[in-house]
Amino acid sequence: MRPVILRRGLVALFAAAVSFGAITQAQAETLRIGYQKYGTLVLLKAKGTLEKRLAAQGVDVQWTEFPGGPQLLEGLNVGSIDFGVTGETPPVFAQAAGADLLYVAYEPPAPHSEAILVPKGSPIKSVAELKGKKVVLNKGSNVHYLLVRALEDAGLKYTDIQTVFLPPADARAAFERGSVDAWVIWDPYQAAAEQQLQARTLRDGQGIVDNHQFYLATKPYAQKNPEVIKTLVEEVRAVGEWSKANPEDVTTQVSPLLGLPADITLTSVKRQGYGALFLTPEVVAAQQKIADSFYQLKLIPKPLSIKDVIWTPPAAVAKAP
């Protein structure tokens, strides 16, 4: 009887091992993308072209929505997603926190797509007049660096103002109540405040920040799956080209997702940068400047080397236009 029992036990163990292997393989063949409600990845998700191309490579696509860049990169850090897009600042904070990430590509600058706003009746006419005032923003988001640079440009220190850290919805409520003097925010919240609240732009990013969007991946995924990353970048490029040529169609698609009127959405769409370019030395240097600034301000605990976390595409991938 014992040999029979032993054989049955071995068969059961073998079946379990095969089942576990199948699960692991299935996980390995799923690309998990993090996205936000607004941006190029929303359009890519709606088109479905990425899924079709990756299916030929035996890869499924799983999409997860995040409310902002810092939360998305936390998801990347804990391993719940493999790829995503954020602004310039969140990956600096994530790298400082130990996230095993790589910069894959970037979108062209969109300096008008973020701004420091004041209420329509505010007596404040310049950034210099923010000294001693309360300024609300989402900590660690793209606009954090806009605020730092705008203050520097106006001859103020970061410590010359009172920062209030709130997510966009709560920040808008504080702005409307008049409990803060200025709000540093990005599109589409920026366009909504401009048109619905008649908020006045004190300073946008023109001349002081690039406001790039970066496509990022976990280091293990990017290194093991260069062809998947290549396909992703190509599809993002294609959607970007279509978006630049068809802003009204983009608006029709995105407006219901945002719950915003078409005119507000169209303003945001036209201010956005579209595309996916591999990082140049100039872009790396600009990102390094952000990291150095935040370290000097003690907003991150250690100095960073951005060039150490840039994905180097294989030669065949790098030749893509």
What is the predicted pLDDT for the residue at 315? 63
Strands 162-165 and 114-118: unpaired
What is the predicted pLDDT for the residue at 318? 47
- Residue spans per domain, the chain: 30-108+214-315, 111-204
Q: Give the residue carrying structure tokens 């960073």.
A: 304
Strands 200-204 and 114-118: antiparallel
Prediction pTM value? 0.83
* Model pLDDT for residues 36-80, shown as the tens digit of each residue: 878 899 899 988 999 999 999 899 999 999 877 888 999 999 999
CATH for the stretch 30-108+214-315:
3.40.190.10
Cα angle 107, 108, 112 (rounded to 5 degrees) comes to 115
Strands 213-218 and 83-87: antiparallel
Cβ atoms of residues 169 and 136 within 8 Å = no
- 3-state SS, residue 314: coil
**Helix and strand numbers, DSSP H then E, in the chain:** 14, 10
Q: Determine the Cα–Cα distance for residues 112 and 126; give it in Å rounded to an integer.
A: 17
Q: Do domains 30-108+214-315 and 111-204 have the same CATH topology?
A: yes
Q: Determine the Cα–Cα distance for residues 293 and 253; give it in Å rounded to an integer.
A: 38
Query: What stretches in the chain show pLDDT beneath 70?
Result: 1-28, 315-321
Q: Starting from the edge strand earliest in sequence, which strands make up the sheet with 200-204, in order?
A: 162-165, 134-137, 182-186, 114-118, 200-204
Token output for 286: 């600009």
Q: Determine the Cα–Cα distance for residues 233 and 251; give it in Å rounded to an integer.
A: 23
Report the CATH architecture of 111-204.
3-Layer(aba) Sandwich (3.40)
What is the predicted pLDDT for the residue at 215? 96
- DSSP structure string for 235-291: HHHHHHHHHHH-HHHHHHHHHHHHT--HHHHHHHHHHS----BPPPHHHHHHHHHHH
What is the predicted pLDDT for the residue at 312? 87
Q: Give the residue carrying structure tokens 């060039």.
A: 307
